[in-house]
Amino acid sequence: EADIYQTPRYLVIGTGKKITLECSQTMGHDKMYWYQQDPGMELHLIHYSYGVNSTEKGDLSSESTVSRIRTEHFPLTLESARPSHTSQYLCASSEWTGLTGELFFGEGSRLTVL
């Protein structure tokens, strides 16, 4: 069973605030990802990491930043939130294999920026 946790599950904040979405996994997976999902729309990759101190931007441009200081932890930060950042953010991880379509997802963090 997958063990990947996201906090907070729901967050409502005002414009201009700094927020950090936490993601932790206990499976020892090297690869971790952040996806963004809007209602009725596709998942879009915004950040990924192949391991400690490795982070890359995904397909969808995002003003958020990520860090990977420990294998199990992959937080996402928005320095100054705006209403356009309102979305569902999903964290995922996978084993280090050639085919990385088998992802384990967290339950998501739903962000609302007023």
Binding site for another protein (CB under 8 A): 6, 31, 33, 40-45, 48, 50, 56, 58-59, 90-92, 98-108, 110
Amino acid at 92: A
**CB 91, min distance to another protein, A:** 8
The CA distance from 69 to 51, in Å, is: 9
Q: Which is nearer to another protein, 69 or 99 (CB)?
A: 99
Q: Which is nearer to another protein, 48 or 74 (CB)?
A: 48
The residues near 114 (Cβ < 8 Å, ≥ 6 apart) are: 12, 13, 14, 15, 83
**CB 50, min distance to another protein, A:** 8
**CB 20, min distance to another protein, A:** 19
The CA distance from 32 to 51, in Å, is: 8
